[in-house]
Structure 1
Amino acid sequence: MKVLVLNAGSSSQKSCLYDLPEDRLPEAPPKPLWEAQIDWPHGTDGAYLKVKSAHLKLEVTLFGASRSEDTARMLETLSSGETQVIAHPGQIDIVGHRVVHGGETYRDSTRITPAVKAAIARLAHFAPVHNPANLAGIEALEAVLGPEVPQIAVFDTAFHSRLPTAAYVYPGPYAWLEAGIRRYGFHGISHRYCAERAAQLLGRDLEQLRLITCHLGNGCSLAAVQAGFSIDTTMGFTPLEGLMMGSRSGSVDPGILIHLLRQGDCSVDKLDHLLNQASGLEGISGISNDLRLIFEAIEAGHARARLALDIYLHRLRAGIGAMAANLGGLDALVFTAGVGENAAPVRAGACEGLEFLGIAIDHHKNNDRPKDTDIATAAAAVRVLVIHTQEDWAIARECWQHLRR
């Protein structure tokens, strides 16, 4: 079974092709036959395509007039040239797409129909950067493969769709809720995969576990997972709420926003830019949203870089404590994504002071580039796992299950 996965963002698009047996899913994620990424840098006319298959890598510059043309060129590398892995695109059995916002309607992955596409477009006012890009990827694949090849939308919000009412309703006017203004949560594909992988690594039934999954990348969010479902999360109506992030502020006093808007030189667009692109690690440090550069600056004695990391860790610990309180206890804490998987000082700093929860890490294991590993001390009551998140594989599994059904 040939499963193509498309993960489209505002300025990039990642893709991979899996060849899966039809009778059962592998327990461990298999290596894709083919992987590709297109980047559309802001302010340039071209796009950059990177392709990897077997032991061959290809890098080319594209000058298509649209995302659809660039995507078609990317798909050509599947069935022609040195990166060829299939005879023709018609061999693709199903396509899976990460779609950021599914609103209140979509609680599970869904086969894409004209009605689903219309819903994705309608929900773009909640996710104006991501949903249009997701829809463009869907339509680009339709143009190349035709309507006969099934396409599946796997929604980032779906894992959080069973939040308790008290967790998703904001304490504003009730009319907000009636207008769809509520906590939706994001990074759901990653949180779900990591929760399931945690149960597998621990040899436990997921339904019996209380987990906190920490997705820490340029965007950051926590999820409290109980009985296999998200019961609380830090991102809300938009991915801006919650933890301090690379260039996003996370939660701030809304009175600050009112204050700024009352100033003559602060427009809504400027405020949007400040909160989403000029805050977080980048805004405090004045250096970068990249935590690796923050660490380098700290080593050089940069005070604002140190402050940025201190705020980041303070808010992360506070978030973990809040999730644990709503779970009523904790069996395992999971770190994942770019920072969570690779930044040992962040994991150590996040766990520092949480000994009262039963959290204690083995610093040798933590510093030893762990992957899908328990880094807690043997005597700790709470296991601490580092898990390599595999959103593409999670999407491929959903596609496999749809075809089997």
Structure 2
Amino acid sequence: MAGHILVLNTGSSSIKYELVDVETHERPAGGLVERIGEETGRLIHRTGDRPPYVRERPFPRHGEGLDAMMEAFAAAGPELEPVAVGHRIVHGGTRFTEAVLIDDDVVAAIEELAPLAPLHNPVNLTGIRVARKAFPEVPQVAVFDTAFHRTLAPEAYTYAVPREWGVRRFGFHGTSCAYVSRRAATFLRRDLADLNLIVLHLGNGASATAVSGGRSIDTSMGMTPLEGLVMGTRSGDVDPALTGYLARVNGLDAQQVEHALTHHSGLLALAGTGDMREVRARGDDTARLALDIYTRRIRKYVGAYYALLGRVDAIVFTGGVGEHDPATRAESLTGLERLGIAVDQALNQADTAGERPVSTAGAEVPVLVIPTDEEWEIARQAHALVSPIAVPPAGRPPVQGDVPA
């Protein structure tokens, strides 16, 4: 099916969107609506080489943000006639283990799963409802973050708690992990089926995933995206007794604790800001401690996943922090030289974009930076459902510098 797929990645306070043709590799337009729900919102719409179309005004809810996106296409082009719409859905529970065509039953099921991802599934549904109304005859596809982790074994996803609670680990950042795992295999000129990888997706949300043969075997996030690494505003791992303790000592109820662990913890609690760039710019003792805690947690997960995998063929950094913060990459892997992991200072600090190695020459375990492209992955999976024409799974053609000489 030739034509453009409109990808909607609706986050808790933003909407990323892009038009993608997975057959021709064209990406004629895309943009971002940010700071939804705040006093000052902004839309940036990009079309080819033309100057960006920018509008700054409040977007009280995601519905207004999506309306603004439609206005941007009408005002700045191109004409919006997608052959399909691909939606990023954060939580698919146990029901959705692969991308699916959206109908009323799928919408109802995603809504039922909202308690597992209260920040994400409801706004993901807003994107679905707006797009179904705007394009009633166009196929709509849901692509689930949790689906990549469907391969977790029972010993990896089962919590040691009463069975009647009906809880388990799901894992997230699956679309990112799927994309960068394939790209890492292409970069290394290896078959993905033969590779053991540790994928570190470090952004405002952060996770570590052990990937063996293209399959997730363990991941740091759990039943919700709160578990695991230290994040921008999320705590990551804490003692489960924390809720009970704070109820007894501080009089906080479970909802208050969950809200604080999600919105007021992580780097924000440690350093006063959830933005890694601002933490590094401060340079005081408080910021240094925050960075040490952040990178120590990553290092601990790398060591644990090395033990689970038995052999590691590459460590992959991706996400906003993973791709752009060389100090985080270096500090997260410090002291792991005996495991064959060593970062080259010059390569790591180089002002270079794209897919690249940052490990020392001849290192037993290559350390790679692979920019993620969740929009491409969503478009690829959507295309696979609505078109009989196969698309190479590695995604876009390699660009100069993808494959080491």
* TM-score normalised over the length of structure 1: 0.91
CA drift of 1:43 comes to 4.8
2:307 — aligned with what? 325
Alignment partners' CA distance in 1, 2:366 and 2:341: 7
Structure 2 counterpart of 1:123:
113
Q: Which of 99, 119, 130 in structure 2 is aligned with 1:109? A: 99
Provide the rounded CA distance (Å) in 2 between the counterparts of 1:128 and 1:209: 35
Question: Are the counterparts in 1 of residues 8 and 86 from structure 2 also a CA contact under 8 Å?
Answer: yes
* 1:47 Cα deviation from its structure 2 partner: 4.7
For the residues of structure 2 that align with 1:292 and 1:63, how far apart are their CA atoms?
A: 25
| C-alpha separation in 2, matches of 1:297 and 1:71 | 36
Separation (CA, whole Å) in 1 of partners of 2:279 and 2:62: 34
**1:53 alignment counterpart:** 47
Q: The residue matched to 2:5 in structure 1 has which SS?
A: strand
Aligned 8 A contact 1:96 1:153 in 2: yes
Could you tell me how far 1:139 is from its partner in structure 2?
A: 0.4
For the residue of structure 2 that corresponds to 1:333, the secondary structure is strand
Whether the 8 Å CA contact 2:243–2:254 is kept in 1: the answer is no
Given the superposition, is the C-alpha separation of residues 211 and 43 from structure 1 closer, same or farther in structure 2, using an over 3 Å criterion? closer
Cα deviation for residue 357 of structure 1 reads: 1.4
Q: Secondary structure at the match of 1:161?
A: helix
Alignment match of 2:274 (pick from 289, 304, 312): 289
Counterpart among 190, 194, 212 of residue 198 in structure 2: 212
Does the Cα contact within 8 Å between 1:313 and 1:346 map onto a contact in 2? yes
- The residue aligned with 2:172 is 186
CA RMSD of aligned residues (A): 1.7
Match of 2:10 in 1: 8
Query: Residue type matched to 2:92 in 1?
Result: G
Identify the match of residue 131 of structure 2 among 141, 146, 167: 141
| Alignment partner, residue 394 of structure 1 | 377
1:151 maps onto 2:151 in alignment: no
Contact 2:172 2:221 in 1 (8 A): yes
Whole-Å separation in 1 of the counterparts to 2:367 and 2:64: 45
Offset, 1:40: 4.7
Query: Is the Cα–Cα contact under 8 Å of residues 8 and 87 in structure 2 kept in the other structure?
Result: yes
Contact 2:36 2:60 in 1 (8 A): no
Does the 8 A contact of 1:222 with 1:234 survive in 2? Answer: yes
1:221 equivalent in alignment to 2:207: yes
2:155 is matched with which residue: 147, 162, 166? Answer: 166
1:331-342 paired onto structure 2 within 5 Å: 331-342=313-324
Aligned-partner residue type, residue 201 of structure 1? F
Within 2, Cα distance between the matches of 1:48 and 1:288? Answer: 21
Instruction: Classify 1:397/1:313 alpha carbon distance in 2 versus 1 (closer, same or farther; 3 Å).
Output: same
Partner of 2:222: 236
**Partner in structure 1 of residue 394 of structure 2:** none
Equivalence for 2:402: none
Cα offset, 1:65, TM superposition? 8.2
Summarize the Cα distance change of 1:64–1:193 in structure 2 as closer, same or farther, 3 Å threshold.
Answer: closer
- Aligned in 2, Cα 1:145/1:66: closer, same or farther, shift over 3 Å? farther
Q: Which amino acid aligns with 1:284?
A: L
- Is the contact made by 1:97 and 1:152 (CA closer than 8 Å) also made in structure 2? yes
Structure 2 distance, partners of 1:233, 1:290, is 23
Which whole-Å deviations, capped at 9, do the CAs of 1:90-114 have from their partners, x for residues lacking one? x310000000000001111111111
Displacement after TM superposition at 1:73 (Å):
3.9
Tell me the CA shift for residue 390 of structure 1.
Answer: 0.5
Structure 1 partner of 2:20: 18
Match of 2:31 in 1: 36
- What is the CA–CA distance in structure 2 between the aligned matches of 1:168 and 1:330, rounded to whole Å? 21
Map of 1:256 onto structure 2: 242
- TM-fit CA distance, 1:323: 1.0
- Residues 67 and 140, structure 1, Cα contact 8 Å, conserved in 2: no
Match of residue 78, structure 2, among 82, 85, 96:
85
Q: Structure 2 length as normaliser, TM-score?
A: 0.91
Q: Aligned residues: percent identity?
A: 42
- 1:268 — aligned with what? 254
Greater RCO (Cα-Cα under 8 Å, separation 6 or more): 2
Per-residue CA deviation, residues 171-214 of structure 1 (Å, 9 max, x unaligned), is 111223xx2x1000011111111101000100100000000000
Segment of structure 1 superposing worse, 92-101 or 275-284: 275-284
Q: SS of the counterpart of 1:254? A: coil
Q: Counterpart amino acid of 1:389?
A: T
The one-letter code matched in structure 1 to 2:45 is V
What runs of 5+ residues in structure 2 fail to find an aligned partner? 389-405
Shift, 1:386, TM fit: 0.3
Inter-partner Cα distance in structure 1 for 2:239 and 2:254:
17
Q: What is the alpha-carbon distance in structure 1 between the residues aligned to residue 204 and residue 127 of structure 2? A: 23
Aligned-partner Cα distance in 2 for 1:98–1:356 = 39
**Structure 1 pair 367–64 and aligned structure 2 pair: CA distance change class (3 A):** closer
